[in-house]
């Protein structure tokens, strides 16, 4: 990206009682430069604004330029939010992965659904995954100089020919060299492997996971974690994509394989630790440099790495019809964004919130329908039971699959307005619907198929209460929520 392509950073919100509010900033104003430099993105802006003294060039909503000087505490935020995190445009994807969800959508929907980003800045800021196939030398240098770590990388396979086949990009075969680059600079990645039966499963999956595990050593492991995720397919995908859906049998096979690999890796760490403890003590000759602390040598101790680096997404267990692992198995949830432990975390958060809120009897009586994807029907059954223990409250779960996408097992976030309309029309919906906001566009009450919540409420002739998180779920159920859509 060149400086000429960098646009002023347009402000959409000014935080009350902030420096920006005190200085008279308004939504619609734009920051052109900070201390004479045009920020390319939110990363530049945060870095430049960390200084105690700032000279700002600001373009107001009427097009007039202002020069402002600000003195503040070091690292104190100005208190503004921007229209976008990228002021010089999105770095788009140059791969043609057959399993890309964007290419598995019908045409004619809102434009933002078809943006294919592969931008390292969004990876650093928000945890979105990139492939590293489109980075220029300038961008690699910036990652190193600004210590943009961790990044989130779609690996899928470490064998060059397999990864090139998956990404349809000849630059995709350098992934192990690129991870080595992170290791040499003591930078980190979180990796994901989308398993496509017949392409990167079986011996290829084993090779990939063992290759990645070699980088999970030392105080700062280059590969902090690996999520293994099943490929998701829709009825809109290209006919020639050579992809096969994950069956219950395949899911059980992958679970067993990954558990076996995890066991081998854990045993290797245990053996190494035992050898270390039984090694005859020899006083070291100074100077003593421990492995890993010079940024080049591996840390042979291995004791500061997490006990596990490979994680199975919840979807594997849901497809296989098996119970989820316990909450303790997920440690500190390093791959929560990939659906690793998200269900257990939600259940734990619900139990804590329920105990904290101690809901009182509901008067008058309320009868509600909680809509979720059928993938979580079994796991969320105890939540419904607990809600129904509240006197005066009746909650029924509507666990739906998506005919829109052509899926028999569906996660909640992929349900569309059309799915809900077809499944719920004509049913007794009581006093309304509890609608998980994960189905909706962020900041806008619109489903993936572009139907709005208002349109759905009107068609079903019922109230809809969008709920985000466990506390809103409980509050909405007992009648304390205020944000609802009337029909």
Rounded to whole angstroms, the Cα distance separating 155 from 125 reads 19
Q: What is the pLDDT of residue 104?
A: 80
Q: What is the pLDDT of residue 485?
A: 62
Mean pLDDT by groups of 10 residues along the chain of 487 residues:
76 96 95 96 96 95 94 93 94 87 78 80 95 96 97 97 95 97 98 96 97 95 97 84 92 97 82 55 36 35 57 95 92 92 95 91 95 95 96 97 91 95 96 96 91 96 94 90 58
Q: What is the pLDDT of residue 484?
A: 61
Q: For residue 194, which of 338, 296, 82, 404 has the smallest C-alpha distance? A: 338
Q: What is the pLDDT of residue 407?
A: 87
CB contact at 8 A, 143 and 188: no
Q: What is the pLDDT of residue 304?
A: 39
pTM assigned to the model: 0.85
Q: For residue 191, which of 229, 142, 231 has the smallest C-alpha distance? A: 229
Q: For residue 211, which of 235, 231, 187, 191 has the smallest C-alpha distance? A: 191
């Amino acid at each position: 990206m060149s400086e000429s392509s960098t646009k002023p950073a347009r402000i959409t919100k000014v935080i009350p009682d902030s420096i920006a509010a005190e200085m008279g900033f308004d939504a619609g104003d734009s920051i052109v430069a900070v201390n004479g430099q045009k920020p390319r993105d939110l990363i530049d802006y945060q870095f430049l604004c960390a200084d105690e003294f700032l000279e700002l060039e600001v373009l107001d909503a009427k097009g007039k330029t202002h020069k402002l000087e600000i003195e503040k505490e070091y690292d104190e935020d100005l208190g503004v939010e921007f229209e976008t995190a990228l002021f010089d445009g999105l770095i788009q994807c140059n791969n043609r992965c057959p399993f890309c969800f964007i290419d598995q959508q019908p045409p004619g929907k809102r434009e933002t659904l078809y943006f294919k980003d592969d931008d390292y800045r969004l990876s650093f800021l928000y945890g979105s995954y990139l492939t590293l196939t489109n980075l220029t030398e300038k961008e690699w240098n910036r990652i190193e100089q600004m210590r943009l770590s961790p990044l989130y990388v779609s690996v899928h396979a470490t064998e060059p020919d397999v990864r090139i086949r998956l990404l349809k990009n000849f630059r995709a075969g350098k992934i192990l060299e690129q991870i080595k680059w992170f290791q040499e600079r003591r930078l980190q990645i979180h990796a994901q492997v989308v398993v496509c039966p017949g392409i990167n499963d079986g011996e290829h999956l084993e090779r990939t996971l063992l290759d990645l595990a070699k980088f999970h050593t030392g105080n700062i492991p280059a590969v902090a974690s690996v999520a293994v995720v099943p490929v998701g397919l829709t009825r809109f995908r290209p006919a020639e994509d050579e992809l096969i859906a994950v069956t219950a049998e395949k899911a059980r096979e992958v679970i067993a394989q990954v558990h076996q690999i995890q066991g081998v890796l854990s045993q290797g760490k245990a053996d190494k630790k035992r050898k270390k403890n039984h090694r005859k003590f020899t006083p070291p000759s100074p100077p003593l440099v421990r492995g890993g602390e010079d940024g080049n040598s591996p840390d042979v101790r291995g004791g500061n790495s997490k006990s596990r680096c490979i994680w199975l997404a919840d979807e594997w267990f849901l497809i296989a019809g098996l119970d989820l692992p316990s909450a303790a198995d997920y440690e500190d949830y390093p791959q929560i964004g990939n659906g690793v432990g998200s269900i257990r975390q939600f259940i734990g958060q619900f139990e804590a919130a329920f105990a904290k809120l101690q809901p009182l009897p509901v008067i008058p009586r309320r009868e509600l329908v909680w809509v979720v994807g059928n993938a979580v029907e079994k796991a969320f059954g105890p939540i419904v039971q607990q809600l129904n223990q509240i006197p005066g409250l009746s909650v029924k779960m509507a666990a739906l699959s998506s005919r829109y996408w052509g899926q028999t097992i569906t996660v909640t976030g992929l349900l569309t307005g059309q799915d809900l309309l077809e499944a719920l029309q004509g049913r007794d919906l009581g006093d309304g619907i509890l609608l998980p906001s994960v189905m909706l566009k962020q900041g806008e009450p619109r489903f993936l198929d572009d139907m709005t919540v208002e349109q759905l409420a009107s068609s079903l002739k019922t109230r809809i209460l969008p709920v985000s998180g466990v506390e809103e779920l409980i509050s909405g159920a007992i009648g304390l929520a205020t944000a609802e859509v009337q029909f």
